[in-house]
Chain A
């Protein structure tokens, strides 16, 4: 029984890393049909596969097209498994996140990968999309009472908008965790603007998102041990 589950987890991992959406879907369906735990399959199958994708990207073996295809394969499995995840507050990361690309910027690939990471982890994601007017971020964070705000900008020309949003959100709710990412940012700048986290440049932002899948899995494992 345990061996069979390991086999399915390996199928999910490989299906993701080899961007084979059909293979992921078949394995995900088998997880359900054979009565295994959907949440385990997401974290130790799909997310583990994406962690490996992050490693391959960092090692210049995979580039953006491959990462996007892997993400599609992951989504194929996630759609099957997610409705069957039993909500167990003791082991799931909870919370809500508002995410979007700032006004003037239509580059949303990195943002979508960060979004994927939050979805895997079970967050409620409010995706504002791309080219989002600055006031919309503030409104959405307040109206949804979200814990996280993630903003991205791929261009020097648009990143300044983030500071305005951070200032306005902080004024109204100092506890919101704010992460910023995108090619033109620096850690120094993100810190000066009052953000809690940042992605150093385009590939690093992508990697940061993929790396966070890993750290969220750790959180899950810690929570599982504790619970």
Chain B
């Protein structure tokens, strides 16, 4: 059987070329580091964000140990804010796993959001690009290498105070468009830097624009035009991922110009498939915590089967894999798709 000889990379890249794969690929374009990967790389979570070599090794581990069909860097959501001059707290002294947060967001005005001319050289963008190159050199033939950037609205909310930004969205759309256009430029240039380093596909994460937060009307007027701009500027396979409530905006998501759309467990995937029709690439929507971390291996298997039955072209966890995921659940997730085929 031809599928047996295909590499993970061939399967994923063929899928992006709209050739459906059997078994359905299991991967994602978001963080996929586990505590086992951190162990393999011999580094703590707080430290891994600042070390390209460790980042590359830790990310590769989910493929090497479990057969996860993509290797993705980075692991945090602070790269853009840092490149824009903000400071991150990585919680180096904390025992548990805490994701870095932005410490000094600015008041939400267009003046406070200026794109640096040398963006690609700032913060950790060069470090993430280096991690991509390392993974690509070592595993590039076998497995798809992915990276991600924040969507314009989410990115702006990492640089500017989010509550003020949300109010600005309601009060001053002209100023919002200026901010989002600049944020879109950051996202597109960052994505292109990662592609130049060897990323096979780039995911744009616009979690701040779900219908838990913004109205579908605001999504259409304010968010979608800037997502379209980003996808028009980024080459190669791309994915638009939005977590949270997306049922009412999934059609607009599919119309942003990304190669594929990804949604999380709050989305009724079968209904979205019916809305989008059979052609559009739709990824999702395994619950990354309640199922993948807290569930039994059998519950993980069932959830994977449900994703496939609902019409997922690839099984994607709805967010970053939470690092303390049990190893047997990672294995169950990978096995379930193969078993079903």
Interface residues of A (CB under 8 A from B): 19, 60, 63-66, 68-69, 72, 103-109, 112, 131, 155-158, 160-161, 184, 202-203
Contacts and interface: CB of A to CB of B under 8 A. Distances in A.
B322 interface: yes
Nearest to B105: A106
A69 to B, nearest CB: 5
A16 B103 CA distance: 32
Nearest to A156: B289
Nearest to A184: B289
A157 B163 contact: no
B99 interface: yes
Interface of B: 89, 91, 94, 96-99, 101-103, 162-163, 166-167, 169-171, 211-215, 218, 244, 288-289, 293, 322
Nearest to A72: B167
Given A105-B101, A184-B289, A68 B218 contact: no
- Interface of A (DSSP majority class): helix
Given A104-B91, A104-B99, A157-B322, A63 B167 contact: no
A142 B166 CA distance: 35
B213 A64 contact: yes
A18 B84 CA distance: 35
Nearest to B266: A201
19 contacts: A19-B170, A60-B215, A63-B218, A64-B166, A65-B166, A68-B163, A69-B170, A103-B91, A103-B98, A104-B98, A107-B162, A109-B163, A109-B166, A155-B99, A156-B293, A158-B98, A160-B96, A184-B289, A203-B212
A66 B167 CA distance: 7
Contact of B167 (A65, A131, A184): A65
Contacts of B98: 103-104, 157-158
B171 A69 contact: yes
Contacts of A60: 211, 215
